[in-house]
Amino acid sequence: MLARFRRPSPWASSPPSREKKGGRGGVGKSCLLLQFTDKRFQPVHDLTIGVEFGARMITIDGKQIKLQIWDTAGQESFRSITRSYYRGAAGALLVYDITRRDTFNHLTTWLEDARQHSNSNMVIMLIGNKSDLESRREVKKEEGEAFAREHGLIFMETSAKTASNVEEAFINTAKEIYEKIQEGVFDINNEANGIKIGPQHAATNATHAGNQGGQQAGGGCC
Amino acid sequence: MLSSVPQRKTRWKSKKMVKVTRSYPIFPFLNVWEEVRGLLPVDGEPNPGVGLGVEEGLLCQMVHSPEFNLFPDSVVFESNFVQVKKGRNWVDIYKASNTMAVGVTSSVPCLPLPNILLMASVKWHQGQSQTWNRPSKAPKIILKRILPLKFVELQVCDRLQRILQLRTVTEKIYYLRLHPDHPETVFHFWIRLVQILHKGLSITTKDPRILVSHCLVPKNSCSPSEDSNSVQKKPQASQPSESLLQLMAEGESEALAQIFADLHQPSQLSSRSSKKTQIKRDNSEKNTPSEDSIPCTPDLRWRDSFTYGEWERENPSCPQPLSLLSTLAASMGPQLAPLIGNSI
C-alpha cells in the first residue's frame, strides 16, 4: 500500500521576514520528514518552496505500505501554490511550533484551507513540534490537545531533533488511514483518495500540513 | 487490501499505461498553424519531441501516473541532465548512472508560459541509453521537487559544455549539464526556453507573418533592439544546418510549441535579475555559491511588492484568449533558426 501524505505547507503562516529575521526555518515540517525518511536531523534546512517529496515503506497489519510524503512550503506567501496540492492526499500532518504562539494561532486558517481543498475523509494529525525546547514553550500541550479535540484531529507532540514521536506521528496517521480503508471510508478504487493498491500493494496518500513559520505541511506525506 | 513493496518493473509498467493527455485542444490555433506548415506528425509517425527525449519522457510519465496524477492535461518538456559542480573544470557530482530529469510544465494547460519546474533523480542500469523514453528496463526515477517557475531562475551557464544554472529563490543552485546522449538540438530548445522565460513572449513575435494584437511583456523588459542585435551578432557558422532547422522546426512544433504555448510570464526572479542573464562562459567567477549547498535563509520580502497578474496566477480564472497564441506561434516558425546558437 502506498500512502500519500501531503503536508499542506500553507499551514505555515509566518511572514517571510520573520524567517529571515529570526533565522528560524519554521515549524519544522521538512525536518520531521527528513527524520522520518532518513532518520537524521538537519538543523539548517532550506526554506521549502513548491513541494519536495519523500517516501518510506512501513508495515501495518503485516502489509507493506509505501507512504508518499509531500513536503509543501509553509510560508504564507506560498499558500496559493500549496493549496493546489491538497487534492489526492489521504492524510495530512498539520504542524505548529510549540515555542511560537503565532504558529498555533494560525492553525484554524490552515485547517480550513486543508479541509476546503482536500478529500473530506482526509486524516489530519495535529503536530506540536520542537518538544525538546521545553524551556521555550509558548503553547501548552493541553492547548494542542484541546484544539485537536475540538476539530476532530489526532494530536501528538514531536521533536524532529530528538526523533521523539516522529515515527509514531507518521505511522499513526498511516494506521488511521488504513483503518478507514478497512472500514470502507476510502474508496480504494478512486485514486483521488490518494490510495493506490498495486499488484501486491496498496498505496495511500497522506498529507502533511504544517502551520506557521515554515513548517512543512502540505504535499506528499508527512 | 494487501499491500506489498511495489516492484520497480511493475510500477513502470503501470506508468506506461498512463495515457498522456496533451493540450492540443487548448490551442486550436497552433494546430491549424502546424497543419499549414505540415508539421503535425502523420499518424503512425513518431513524435519528434519523443524521439528527442523531450516529450512524454520519464518525468512526464511519472507526474502523469496515478501515483502523482499531477498536471495531467499539460505537456511536459524535459531532458536528462548530469549534475555538475564548478572547479577548474566542470566535475560530475554523482556517478554516471545517476542523472537528473528536469522539466517544465504548466499547472493549467491554458497558461501561455510554463509555470512549474519538475526535478527528479534517475538511476539508470548499466549501459542503458539515458535518454530513451521507454527503456525495456525501467530506471529508478524519484520525483524530488516541484517548484513554481517564478521562484526559479534558469540561465545558460556554459553553452559549449551545455550547462544550465538553476537557481531558486532560496539561493540553492544546481549546475546541470545536458546529458551527452541528447542531441545539440535539445540544448537549443533549452536556450530558447531560457530566452522566453527571461524575456517573455515578446521574443516570439518576430515573425512578421504573425499579427500580434498585444504584448504581454512590459516594454521596459523587452527591448527590440537588444533582440535584433543579438540576432545579428550570431555568427553564420553557428547557424544550424538545414536538416537541423527542419528537425528543430518539427521538434518544436511538437515539444516547444506545446510548452511555449503554455509559457508563463517571465519569472519574477528572472525579471529581477535580468542583468545577470548573460551566459557565464567560464569558471572565473568567484564567490559562487556551492552546488547543493545549504543557503542562508533568504530575504523574501521583495515578493511582497509583487503584483500578480492573471498570467502569473497558478490557476487563472478562465481560459486565456486565443489572441495570445499568435505570439506563441512565431516561436515555432523557421525564423527561430537565427536565434539558435546565439548567446542570451
CB contact (8 A) between residue B3 and residue A65: yes
CB contact (8 A) between residue B299 and residue A51: no
Burial of B85 (0-12, 13-18, 19+ CB in 10 A): middle
Chain B residue with minimum CA distance to A54: B144
Task: Of B144, B258, B297, B279, give the one whose Cα is nearest residue A43.
Answer: B297
**Taking each helix axis from N to C terminus, what angle separates B242-254 and B28-37, rounded to the nearest 10 degrees?**
150
Hey, what domains does chain B have and what are their CATH numbers?
51-199 (2.30.29.30)
Higher pLDDT, B212 or A87: A87
Max CA pair span of chain B: 65
Residue given cell 539561493 in the structure block = B171
Chain B residue with minimum CA distance to A25: B297
Residue given cell 476532530 in the structure block = A152
* In a domain? residue A194: no
Closest-CA distance, A9 to chain B, in angstroms, reads: 13
pLDDT, tens digit, 9 for 90 and up, residues A27-67: 999 999 999 999 999 888 778 888 899 999 999 989 898 89
Judge whether B143 is closer than 8 Å to chain A, CB to CB. Answer: yes
Residues 97-126 of chain B with CB under 8 A from chain A are 107, 117
Mean pLDDT of A188-199: 65
Taking the C-alpha atoms of residue A94 and residue A212, their distance in angstroms, rounded to an integer, is 10
In chain B, residues with a C-beta closer than 8 Å to the C-beta of A52 are 144-145
Q: What confidence score (pLDDT) does residue B107 get?
A: 85
Q: What confidence score (pLDDT) does residue A151 get?
A: 96
Chain A residue with minimum CA distance to B117: A50
Q: What confidence score (pLDDT) does residue B131 get?
A: 60
* In a domain? residue A126: yes
CB contact (8 A) between residue A51 and residue B146: yes
Q: CA A94: distance to chain centroid?
A: 5
In chain A, residues with a C-beta closer than 8 Å to the C-beta of B298 are 20, 47
Q: Which residues contact B263 (CB under 8 A, 6 or more apart)?
A: B111, B112, B113, B114, B196, B197, B201, B328
CB contact (8 A) between residue B300 and residue A16: yes
Mean pLDDT of A76-83: 69
Q: Which of B14, B69, B146 minimises the CB distance to A88?
A: B69
Residue A191: pLDDT band (50, 70, 90) is: low
Q: Which of A2, A16, A52 minimises the CB distance to B67?
A: A2
Question: Which regions in chain B score pLDDT beneath 50?
Answer: 1-42, 212-344
Residues 163-182 of chain B with CB under 8 A from chain A are 168-170, 172
* In a domain? residue A219: no
Strand B77-85 to B91-92 pairing:
antiparallel
CB contact (8 A) between residue B295 and residue A200: no
Chain B residue with minimum CA distance to A188: B1
CB contact (8 A) between residue B297 and residue A47: yes
ipTM of the modeled complex: 0.75
Taking the C-alpha atoms of residue A36 and residue A42, their distance in angstroms, rounded to an integer, is 12
Res A149 pLDDT > 60: yes
Residue A159: pLDDT band (50, 70, 90) is: very high
Judge whether B316 is closer than 8 Å to chain A, CB to CB. Answer: no
Judge whether B9 is closer than 8 Å to chain A, CB to CB. Answer: no
Taking the C-alpha atoms of residue A124 and residue A98, their distance in angstroms, rounded to an integer, is 18
Task: Of B260, B249, B246, B251, give the one whose Cα is nearest residue B52.
Answer: B251
Chain B residue with minimum CA distance to A214: B297
Q: Which amino acid is at A175?
A: K
* In a domain? residue A37: yes
Mean pLDDT of A165-180: 94
In 10 A of CB B333, how many CB atoms? 19
* In a domain? residue A211: no
Q: What confidence score (pLDDT) does residue A194 get?
A: 67
Q: What confidence score (pLDDT) does residue B130 get?
A: 60
* In a domain? residue A151: yes
Task: Of A168, A153, A163, give the one whose Cα is nearest residue A209.
Answer: A153
CA–CA distances in Å: residue A181 to residues A126, A168, B68:
21, 19, 19
In chain B, residues with a C-beta closer than 8 Å to the C-beta of A85 are 146
Q: Which amino acid is at A134?
A: E
pLDDT, tens digit, 9 for 90 and up, residues A88-125: 788 999 999 999 999 999 999 889 988 888 888 889 99
Res A141 pLDDT > 90: yes
In chain B, residues with a C-beta closer than 8 Å to the C-beta of A199 are 4, 6-7, 10
Res A187 pLDDT > 50: yes
Q: What confidence score (pLDDT) does residue B128 get?
A: 67
Taking the C-alpha atoms of residue A215 and residue A71, their distance in angstroms, rounded to an integer, is 9
Q: What confidence score (pLDDT) does residue B203 get?
A: 55
In chain B, residues with a C-beta closer than 8 Å to the C-beta of A84 are 107, 314-315
Locate A151 and state its grid cell: 476539530
Judge whether B36 is closer than 8 Å to chain A, CB to CB. Answer: no
CB contact (8 A) between residue B297 and residue A23: yes
CB contact (8 A) between residue A53 and residue B143: yes
In chain B, residues with a C-beta closer than 8 Å to the C-beta of A7 are none
Specify the 3-state DSSP secondary structure of B118: strand
CATH code, domain carrying A178? 3.40.50.300
Max CA pair span of chain A: 50
pLDDT, tens digit, 9 for 90 and up, residues B40-67: 444 555 677 888 888 888 899 999 988 8
Give one DSSP letter per residue of B164-223, joined into a string. Answer: EEEEETT--EEEEEEPTTS-HHHHHHHHHHHHHHHHGGGGG---TTS--S--SS-GGG--
Taking the C-alpha atoms of residue A25 and residue A16, their distance in angstroms, rounded to an integer, is 10
CB contact (8 A) between residue A20 and residue B295: no
| Owning domain of residue A104 | 2-7+24-183
SS (H, E, C) chain A: CEEEEEEEHHHCCCCHHHHHHHCCCCCCHHHHHHHHHHCCCCCCCCCCCCEEEEEEEEEECCEEEEEEEEEECCCHHHHHHHHCCCCCCCEEEEEEECCCHHHHHCHHHHHHHHHHHCCCCCEEEEEEECCCCHHHCCCCHHHHHHHHHHHCCEEEECECCCCECHHHHHHHHHHHHHHHHHCCCCCCCCHHHCEEECCCCEEEECCEEECCCCCCEECCCC
Name the domain count of chain A. Answer: 1
Task: Of B78, B80, B156, give the one whose Cα is nearest residue B118.
Answer: B78
CB contact (8 A) between residue A191 and residue B66: yes
pTM: 0.64
* In a domain? residue A221: no
Res A215 pLDDT > 90: no
Chain A residue with minimum CA distance to B4: A201
CB contact (8 A) between residue B144 and residue A53: yes
pLDDT, tens digit, 9 for 90 and up, residues A5-25: 554 433 333 322 222 222 234
Q: Which residues contact A196 (CB under 8 A, 6 or more apart)?
A: A1, A2, A188, A202, A203, A204, A205, B66, B67
* In a domain? residue A162: yes
